[in-house]
Structure 1
Amino acid sequence: MKVVVVDHPSGDQLPILLDDEGLPITLANEFVLARRANGRNTLVRNLRELSFLYQWSNRERIDLWERISSGKGFTEAELRGGLLECLRRDQSKGRKVKKLSITPNTFNQRLTTVCQFFSFFYDVYLGSMPLDDMRSDRIPV
């Protein structure tokens, strides 16, 4: 996964997250579009933080949309033992890593971005449901 910055003719610079095949990851990019009032560097950082979430979900074979739309959610073991540990690790490539973890501030930024993304994810899902659909009562918000 990688983040690329697209230069628009209007002068705007918008980062997008691409998967391993070079295709855009739709919901992560919609999340950034909704936050485009933030600076370019902030949006790039947010997409890099979300890339850790997507790498974790791919490695664990978890379809994020299916989990949320089914109402199943995530287990504590998946979140504490999997996702949080992934967010805590230094993800740098191509250089020797002296330590396996990152600073608390970096971890908190990653965690905050992932939490905001999940909130956005739920908003998109709930907004796509019909008003009379009672499944929305089961979604933990």
Structure 2
Amino acid sequence: MPILLGKDDLAVCMGNEFILGRRALAYDALIRDLREVAMLHEWAELHGMDMTNFISGGSAFN
């Protein structure tokens, strides 16, 4: 099963929890979904956002 690692080579919890919830899908689908989550995570890091707190806090993109 693929996992998402951050720039510090540690697992990214929210992204990996999402993928684990979809583990019944084909491997290629998991890879595609993980790439999309990785782009979102990279964008958030670039803009100094903590996606875990952002999503858990009920914030929305406006």
Tell me the TM-score normalized by structure 2. 0.84
SS of alignment partner, residue 3 of structure 2: strand
How many residues are aligned here? Answer: 62
Distance 1:74 1:44, change over 3 A: same
Deviation at 1:66, TM superposition (A): 2.1
SS of alignment partner, residue 17 of structure 1: coil
The 8 Å contact of residues 23 and 30 in structure 2, kept in 1 or not, is answered as yes
Q: Comparing both structures, which one devotes a greater share of its residues to strand? A: 1
Tell me the TM-score normalized by structure 1. 0.40
Gaps of 5+ in 2: none
Provide the identity percentage.
39
Question: 2:56 & 2:18 partners in 1: Cα distance?
Answer: 17
Deviations 1:44-99 (A, max 9, x none): 11111111100110011111232233344223xxxxxxxxxxxxxxxxxxxxxxxx
1:51 to 1, 14, 38: 38
The 8 Å contact of residues 19 and 30 in structure 2, kept in 1 or not, is answered as yes
Q: What is the root-mean-square deviation in Å for CA atoms of aligned residues?
A: 1.4
When Rg is computed on C-alpha atoms for both structures, the one with the higher figure is 1
